[in-house]
Structure 1
């Protein structure tokens, strides 16, 4: 399945896999920049999300769900691999997922699913020659943009570039619904990834009620949240019309914290690994198996991959180290606490700008003129880089990392020239992370400090490429 052999570091799954006839359709839906508090069902005073609210009443609602990172690309890598994003070389926005990684699309494709990706990509190229495009990491069909997009976007349809007319979030759902409808009567179950471009700024999209939120300070942001709410409602309605909703998993979440600090669900907002930058809304609907309930145990986007693996066939024999866990035992009440901690690491290095429309327009013009790609450097950007990072002379790593072992969360703020700073919070008593307990809770502080130091070493070992038995350069098609 993969281009290189992976060292077998298998996770254990506790739920018996389903038979071929029982395998559910799976649809992963993700917003771009919706904070935990930015929905009606999570208590927002202004934003209207009737479809999310209705879904919440019929779903497993995760009360403390975390994005893999406080910005988009790394979180998407965590969904695709079940791993801390830095392990996969997606260090910040605009970095490419290594083709050496095993993706959920590849696994499900090998297990008999027909697979499609629709919307924002931002973890690789959208040129079909690239080993990081959706078509080479497990997707049979794709209508994809490099980064966020809004009105009349330029997109890549299976490697053919085109400009579409309309609102990006609507076009994304149009393509996803068409894909599901086309394959629903086939022999293969469906796996679709729907990654909205909204509510990312500059907020040029509008809901069906453009006059809504007039006079509100964050009107554009609220409009786009209502727009994706409408599209989520369309999807649920169409699944019911097709008669396949009962055995279809719809898993909704956001890729990072929101843009408004006051409703982000904690301290700070997007771009921070304090709670406001990583806590996001999330719910899982599967009428054939799951009843509505709330889950208070922390979970993350890295858990999506191992949960789906467990449901569709169990562990992979050449699986690199996973950070996520199978959530079904927690959902079904067989466990009351997750088996491992949840880690975050941001600003180890900076992001890389990706101007989606500009780049794809130039690719389209070159393709139409039968000219060479004007962006050959984007085919293999950073995918064959295997660094040799190690702790600095001061004993630490750069960036801001955190490790959550509920209710305690430890932070380490690293520097290249001076000693790292540690902070410890009890999220149950101090959800806004205001009271540093490093001195007050010395036993817990020592335990958590030891844990995060070991976790960072493990992540760096993966980043350096040591999870791969074969690090031969990948050249694409």
Structure 2
């Protein structure tokens, strides 16, 4: 009787250890064109995101996560490879990743994970090898790109851990005529960002945007319900983030926080305490090494980021001192680089003769037209005027605490001369270490900046930044 009782105890505790050692399931949700401050959990009191707010309450909210580009595919390819855009060989919009790089879902797949992508697939055909399943048919994915999420969870192999890259089309223009999920009223349910003018057209534009965010949020709730039904909630890590800022002038393609700061929510009941906030400075290149570390996989030399998994347990720890970002061609010729600390932001612009009103869908939007109409009356604030300004400053420096909207360029202020010189050197070192270049012949404008009409140069590419130094073969991480 005693021997049998002892055996039962051994088996019981062996089961606990086995359960604890089970690989974590990972669901990575990357929203399209959604600003960090257009989520309720980040202080927007108008947008209806109850499920994302719940995700924040039950996990950890990161308040200083930054993208390497405020541009769709360059941002995504950077996350997928853990590399800066000019180090991916795909620094410009729609450029595909080369075959020789490592993609982190591919390493999870090799480790025994079932890997799947559903929705927007914007990283190039070579990345197909990273996934067991690709669900990229837009009709099957639905207008918002979320229709297959629950089906994917139901149909996955039950004998493997899983990784899902869920990339909805929400909230990318053009807007859906109708959406499921909460609806918004233009008079009551909109926070007009300071980069835009408060008009009826702008509010209607923002309502359509909010409704797509709410649709995405609706499906996050459905996904969590299915996880609970299958008993998977405890050991499934869910991440929600976005690829760049809202598709409006003054946000998308910008290297200020309006463009490169992203919401980043993580829930994992088995590994993360609820209700935490992490203010540590983190780059999107750090995401891949982190998820690989959680799966027990060492990130190889091609990954330029570092794991921040320790912050899940100790969110008060400091992590990075610097984050870096770049703005390359996205419909229009561009070359900007930025380095940001918690305190300051420094930007260089090698095409100051050009405006930065955002990509074509932003600068031809109703909000942009309202902005341009208000400009004729001389009623724009400096922040609103900034999207239309020509020429632009070749260098900008901002005090992030005194000026969180990053309006006042303090480059000529002698009070900050030491900090400016420091960040100049750090940015130059990052460019040198990582093989960044400044091509003379960049990809030109494909569209007229005022009318949006296609130009003769459409579909013609220039030299990709980093190409002259084979930066896609350089693995140096740069300053950290």
Please report the TM-score for the alignment, with normalisation by the length of structure 1: 0.71
Cα deviation code 1:153-193 (max 9, x no counterpart):
3xxxxxxxxx53x7332xx434233233233621x210110
For the pair 1:287 / 2:269, whether they are aligned, the reply is yes
Given that residues 70 and 346 in structure 1 are in contact (C-alpha distance below 8 angstroms), is that contact kept between their aligned partners in structure 2? yes
Structure number having the greater helix percentage: 2
| Equivalent in the alignment of 2:180 | 208
Residue 237 of structure 1, aligned match among 220, 225, 248: 225
- Closer, same or farther: CA 311–220 of 1 in aligned 2, 3 Å: same
| Equivalent in the alignment of 1:473 | none
Given that residues 62 and 278 in structure 2 are in contact (C-alpha distance below 8 angstroms), is that contact kept between their aligned partners in structure 1? yes
Q: CA deviation at 1:24?
A: 0.3
The CA RMSD measured in Å over matched residues stands at: 2.8
Give distance in 2, aligned partners of 1:411 and 1:70: 14
Counterparts of residues 326-341 of structure 1 (less than 5 Å): 326-333=307-314, 336-341=317-322
For the pair 1:192 / 2:164, whether they are aligned, the reply is yes
- Closer, same or farther: CA 57–350 of 1 in aligned 2, 3 Å: closer
Given that residues 289 and 303 in structure 2 are in contact (C-alpha distance below 8 angstroms), is that contact kept between their aligned partners in structure 1? no
| Equivalent in the alignment of 1:345 | 326
Counterparts of residues 20-419 of structure 1 (less than 5 Å): 21-125=21-125, 132=126, 134-136=127-129, 138-144=130-136, 153=138, 163-164=139-140, 167-169=142-144, 172-183=145-156, 185-186=158-159, 188-204=160-176, 206-208=178-180, 212-213=184-185, 216-217=203-204, 218-260=206-248, 268-292=250-274, 293-317=276-300, 319-322=301-304, 324-333=305-314, 336-347=317-328, 349-351=329-331, 399-415=335-351
| Equivalent in the alignment of 1:468 | 473
Which structure exhibits the higher relative contact order, with contacts defined as CA atoms closer than 8 Å and separated by 6 or more residues? 1
- The count of aligned residue pairs is 371
> SS state of the match for residue 61, structure 1?
strand
Given that residues 343 and 402 in structure 1 are in contact (C-alpha distance below 8 angstroms), is that contact kept between their aligned partners in structure 2? yes
> SS state of the match for residue 163, structure 2?
strand
> SS state of the match for residue 36, structure 2?
coil
> SS state of the match for residue 44, structure 1?
coil
Give distance in 1, aligned partners of 2:434 and 2:316: 27
Give distance in 2, aligned partners of 1:206 and 1:214: 15
Q: Which has the larger radius of gyration?
A: 2
Higher alpha-carbon deviation: 92-101 or 177-186: 177-186
| Equivalent in the alignment of 1:474 | none
- Closer, same or farther: CA 294–232 of 1 in aligned 2, 3 Å: same
Give distance in 1, aligned partners of 2:401 and 2:157: 44
> SS state of the match for residue 280, structure 1?
coil
Cα deviation code 1:181-236 (max 9, x no counterpart):
233621x2101100010111111153335764266522211111110010111111
Give distance in 2, aligned partners of 1:70 and 1:53: 24
Counterparts of residues 404-443 of structure 1 (less than 5 Å): 404-415=340-351, 421-438=394-411, 439-443=414-418
Q: CA deviation at 1:103?
A: 0.5
Give distance in 1, aligned partners of 2:311 and 2:234: 21
The unaligned stretches of length 5 or more in structure 2 are 1-17, 188-202, 354-390, 437-465, 475-480
Cα deviation code 1:66-119 (max 9, x no counterpart):
223111111111220111122102222211112221101111111111110110
> SS state of the match for residue 410, structure 1?
strand
Give distance in 2, aligned partners of 1:210 and 1:326: 36
> SS state of the match for residue 445, structure 1?
helix
Give distance in 2, aligned partners of 1:55 and 1:334: 17
Give distance in 1, aligned partners of 2:232 and 2:330: 43
Give distance in 2, aligned partners of 1:458 and 1:315: 23
Give distance in 2, aligned partners of 1:82 and 1:95: 16
- Closer, same or farther: CA 87–238 of 1 in aligned 2, 3 Å: same
- Closer, same or farther: CA 20–467 of 1 in aligned 2, 3 Å: farther
Given that residues 27 and 165 in structure 2 are in contact (C-alpha distance below 8 angstroms), is that contact kept between their aligned partners in structure 1? yes
Please report the TM-score for the alignment, with normalisation by the length of structure 2: 0.71
Q: CA deviation at 1:256?
A: 0.5
Given that residues 414 and 420 in structure 1 are in contact (C-alpha distance below 8 angstroms), is that contact kept between their aligned partners in structure 2? no
The unaligned stretches of length 5 or more in structure 1 are 1-17, 126-131, 146-152, 154-162, 262-267, 353-396, 470-477
